[in-house]
């Protein structure tokens, strides 16, 4: 299954959000390796920082997403962002 999570920020910080995304991906690469992480993670961030979308397609992606949620919580505060999740079936 693939999960796409959309983050909304009342007061965006595009550079900070992108830094957090990069750190979350790096963390997953340390655990699962770069090839697996690159296959399982994608993200989109608009130039104004509203919204950010994170696409996770496996264990490495799920780990990166968990780290990212923690980093966003530390940067923006628990009430400083909203998440909306959708799951998609992946055809193999």
CATH class for the domain made up of 2-88: alpha beta
Eight-class DSSP state of 51: -
Enumerate residues 6+ apart whose C-beta is below 8 A from 17: 7, 9, 45, 49, 52, 72, 75
pLDDT in tens, the chain (92 residues): 688 999 988 887 888 989 999 999 999 999 999 999 999 999 998 888 778 899 999 999 999 999 999 999 999 998 889 999 876 554 43
Domain spans of the chain, in order of start: 2-88
Which pTM does this prediction carry?
A: 0.86
């Amino acid at each position: 299954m693939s999960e796409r999570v959309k983050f909304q920020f009342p007061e965006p910080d595009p550079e900070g959000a992108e830094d957090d995304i990069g750190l979350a991906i790096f963390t997953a690469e340390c655990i699962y390796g770069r090839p697996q992480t690159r296959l399982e993670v994608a993200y989109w961030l608009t130039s104004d920082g509203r919204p950010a979308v994170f696409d996770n397609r496996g264990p490495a992606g799920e780990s990166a997403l968990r780290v990212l949620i923690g980093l966003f919580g530390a940067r923006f505060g628990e009430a400083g962002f909203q998440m909306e999740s959708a799951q998609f079936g992946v055809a193999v």
